[in-house]
Amino acid sequence: MAKSAQLYRMATDEHICPFGLKSKDLLERQGFEVDDHLLTSRADTDTFKQKYDVKTTPQTFIDDERIGGYDELREYFNKSPAGQQGTTYTPVIAIFAVTLLLSLAFSLSGAGLSMYTLELFVALTMAVLAIQKLQDLTSFSNSFITYDLLAMKVIPYAYVYPFLEAFVGVAMIVALPVYLVAPISLFIGSVGAISVIKAVYIDKRELKCACVGGDSNVPLGFISLTENLFMIAAGLWMLVK
């Protein structure tokens, strides 16, 4: 006998509940036939909530037992909670991995692996990290000023920083004159490195890193320090080369 489930989810002209779609998909992947009840208006949704004394939709019923929303449904099937839980390095790892692959792709399509591959990796990484920050400057600044020593004193620096980082990344790729690029890279990298070392390794503060934007759950620490060391190394390399 086929397993069946009753699913009530919101699907109006203005809004289709994503968790309702995910609940339906999860049930089907677990081998259930889903009796899909669409709540096509706000009135329908409010009536349903009042009838079953629930505060949210979607709601799943299996064998006349109310399981609950998407999170409760995952728990029912012994699955881990959806989404990222707690602090995570996933955003930074994703950026570093993709920019490394891009730098390898650029190199292998041209002159082959060389020191230029590493330069590309650093430049692309800085550019992509800047994009993450520039998506929401206010959110980034709110996080950045809690540990960056210069931004604490000069708030506008928090808003300028992502633009400087993007400039260095792009400038390295197009090979702008060293005197325009290296000093900026050295400056923001040095201030950033000192700030991270003080906050994490001296003051022992547990903070979120603003390296991939203000709303991330990346912990401030080694990865954050690595970003700044990249900038310092890039600046020194440009001067030496």
The full set of domain ranges for the chain reads 3-76, 90-240
pLDDT in tens, the chain (241 residues): 679 999 999 998 888 898 999 999 999 999 999 999 999 999 999 999 999 999 999 999 999 899 999 999 999 999 987 765 556 667 777 777 878 887 887 777 676 777 778 888 888 888 888 888 888 888 888 888 888 999 989 988 999 999 999 899 888 888 889 999 999 999 999 999 999 999 999 988 888 888 777 677 777 878 788 889 988 988 898 888 7
CA neighbours closer than 13 Å in the CB half-sphere of residue 60: 27
Stated length of the chain:
241
User: For residues 151 and 35, what is the distance between their CA atoms, to the nearest angstrom?
Assistant: 55
In this structure, CATH architecture of domain 3-76? 3-Layer(aba) Sandwich (3.40)
Enter the pTM of the model: 0.68
